[in-house]
Structure 1
């Protein structure tokens, strides 16, 4: 992305020699924990190319990250200790500050906290793509005070995702799931300008069903978004684009028993996954594509009874010859659960950040790195 300094630019600005320089690297080590144990270190490993590039050139690297939502005060539940231990195994000698969100100055973007972050620092690197859609102190503050650059991970994320937005290969298919259409409204509207078709799964589909006048039983939906979904369907049709909705649903009947339905659910029924027919149809669309972006599961995949739709789509992402990008979050977790995360071209480290970059073409963290003219 033009205008954003790279690691090489930072090295040049610091005199062409990083030996002995103290570099603050904002990482995204917001990893999943279970009883204090890291269950997936993907985000830590993703930061290693940047950390190793700096340390190989003699820099003293200090990393900083948030973990969870500690609400601006120290909380042992969100201590960085497990991350620090794993980082010490992967990158010996690299420091890690305590959880940035233990201080309210982080989310509040307070000048005093920014000053503390850059105290004694010679340079700053943002490699936290997953947090770069937040105008938090550690993201937008340091570039105002010290020479700054984007890390290798941030650079790769931006290149891949803006490539989808600006240089798509057709047919280009977006696969969107999850619970709320309101969370993805902006990106759907933006993607309609670029993609050839959009596949809708997850509980989102029930709001679209309601917009079509179909009964949805007791399935989760957003009543205040029904009119918006009707408008999206009409807009897509007017643009010659296709929004693929499920033709069958898996869930529970009024008695709470496992059941399969068409796209009309009776009273008391609840949909939890796309059905096998829809999964097969969506697979066909994915297999015919040249580029696919996926964000959001097709159903409640954490429950094996309702994992089939997401598993089938994940397998299609692995099998297609298209260039495949998975937009972080639950989709990345599903890929990992089905052991297919190595079978796609790019797994983003940021769910919300990937959606915002696709929608707006920029992020607060990127604007900060470009300097005053880019903010």
Structure 2
């Protein structure tokens, strides 16, 4: 794993220093109000610590996809109020992230102040990692802290370019994420089991190819499992299935066999003729899926098999649900396996690391997100880390 510098490596005396902090404030909004403050809550410890240590805390963030233009609805201004409430500390706002508007506000700051700069993506150079934009940002700071792991897979001016221009450190949220991921796949306690679910194999080929080389067992669930079952000659009826990826699925199973990784596929499934809440459903052996039915969840025998692997594991990495968890009763397998993993974690028998949008929603649905060792809200960055890719925003923090 890349060795990276944290706030512990920063000089203790930062009184009056301008600290540029890249945070993720790309939060859901409705009618100008933040509807989910999870990402704001995650950056509070870093901002508070730097403020307490006397730094002038200057926040850089993006919001939405304005494509390099100023879009009023994508201003970070309304987020400043929610941030102020979570921090319990005044947060000022500048109408640009560079230039006179930013400089004027920064010049008026005193030790411990917090300032939020306007959306970095209002500048076309942000997503192009334009060195001139990075230099203009760096002119406003003495040191740089990245606390936005969720944006670390993108080589943008504020996530990567800027980090090479100033002394750079990982914030507390970034540090926690990287340390959890190291426990998950970097240097995990063995045996390691990975659960990968979701709809399509095509979106997770790199992920599966990386995991079979690193884990002792790979549980494949959701619509993805149907593609693997079909590749083995199992009739999956009208289930979601990428039949054209049979060769890819067989190649992954062959790689797994060579690497000594067990592939765990459903042995039974919950099937229905229509995809809606409360639809008539039945549990069948996976070899007996009716031609006019869809597999919408793993069955109880499969859950028992998965839980057996979790029971055997020291480390669990989870991305994606085991079935159509958004609709009852097709949430049963995901909920049962998640709750068992949570029990093992709470009992101190398992390190459990989970991430990806659907995964977070599924664990919240099961009521166990707070019982896993670590749940990443990073989405794309979490997936790229699982795929074994170097994340530019992390590499730029290397010690």
TM-score normalised per structure 2: 0.84
C-alpha distance in structure 2 between counterparts of 1:82 and 1:285, whole Å? 46
Q: 2:236 aligns with which of 204, 216, 219?
A: 216
C-alpha distance in structure 2 between counterparts of 1:365 and 1:126, whole Å? 8
The alpha-carbon deviation at position 52 of structure 1 amounts to: 1.6
> Could you say which residue in structure 1 is the equivalent of 2:111?
none
Alpha carbons 1:295, 1:351 under 8 Å: kept: no
C-alpha distance in structure 2 between counterparts of 1:84 and 1:291, whole Å? 38
SS in 2 for 1:306: coil
> Could you say which residue in structure 2 is the equivalent of 1:7?
7
Larger Rg: 2
> Could you say which residue in structure 2 is the equivalent of 1:165?
185
Q: 1:42 aligns with which of 38, 42, 54?
A: 38
CA distances 1:211-237 after superposition (whole Å, capped 9, x unpaired): 112222332233442211111112222
Listed as ranges, the gaps of 5+ residues in structure 1 are: none
C-alpha distance in structure 2 between counterparts of 1:229 and 1:281, whole Å? 21
> Could you say which residue in structure 2 is the equivalent of 1:269?
293
C-alpha distance in structure 1 between counterparts of 2:359 and 2:146, whole Å? 24
The alpha-carbon deviation at position 254 of structure 1 amounts to: 6.3
C-alpha distance in structure 2 between counterparts of 1:303 and 1:84, whole Å? 36
Deviates more, 1:255-264 or 1:205-214: 255-264
Q: How many residues align?
A: 367
TM-score normalised per structure 1: 0.89
> Could you say which residue in structure 2 is the equivalent of 1:106?
126
Alpha carbons 1:328, 1:350 under 8 Å: kept: yes
SS in 1 for 2:169: strand
Listed as ranges, the gaps of 5+ residues in structure 2 are: 91-113
C-alpha distance in structure 2 between counterparts of 1:17 and 1:186, whole Å? 44
Alpha carbons 1:254, 1:268 under 8 Å: kept: no
CA distances 1:280-319 after superposition (whole Å, capped 9, x unpaired): 3212221221111111112222223322222112212211
Over the aligned positions, Cα root-mean-square deviation in angstroms equals: 2.4
> Could you say which residue in structure 2 is the equivalent of 1:184?
204
> Could you say which residue in structure 2 is the equivalent of 1:259?
281
The alpha-carbon deviation at position 251 of structure 1 amounts to: 4.2
SS in 2 for 1:333: helix
Deviates more, 1:285-294 or 1:301-310: 301-310
> Could you say which residue in structure 1 is the equivalent of 2:110?
none
- Relative distance call for 1:254 and 1:140 in structure 2 (3 A) is closer
C-alpha distance in structure 1 between counterparts of 2:304 and 2:66, whole Å? 42
The alpha-carbon deviation at position 98 of structure 1 amounts to: 2.7
C-alpha distance in structure 2 between counterparts of 1:82 and 1:296, whole Å? 32
The alpha-carbon deviation at position 324 of structure 1 amounts to: 0.8
Alpha carbons 1:326, 1:332 under 8 Å: kept: yes
Q: 1:286 aligns with which of 292, 298, 310?
A: 310
The alpha-carbon deviation at position 180 of structure 1 amounts to: 2.2
Alpha carbons 1:248, 1:263 under 8 Å: kept: yes
C-alpha distance in structure 2 between counterparts of 1:155 and 1:122, whole Å? 21
- Is residue 357 of structure 1 aligned with residue 353 of structure 2? no
SS in 1 for 2:236: coil
The alpha-carbon deviation at position 326 of structure 1 amounts to: 0.9
Deviates more, 1:25-34 or 1:128-137: 25-34
Alpha carbons 1:162, 1:361 under 8 Å: kept: no
The alpha-carbon deviation at position 204 of structure 1 amounts to: 1.0
C-alpha distance in structure 1 between counterparts of 2:77 and 2:304, whole Å? 44
CA distances 1:28-58 after superposition (whole Å, capped 9, x unpaired): 2233345554343222111122112211111
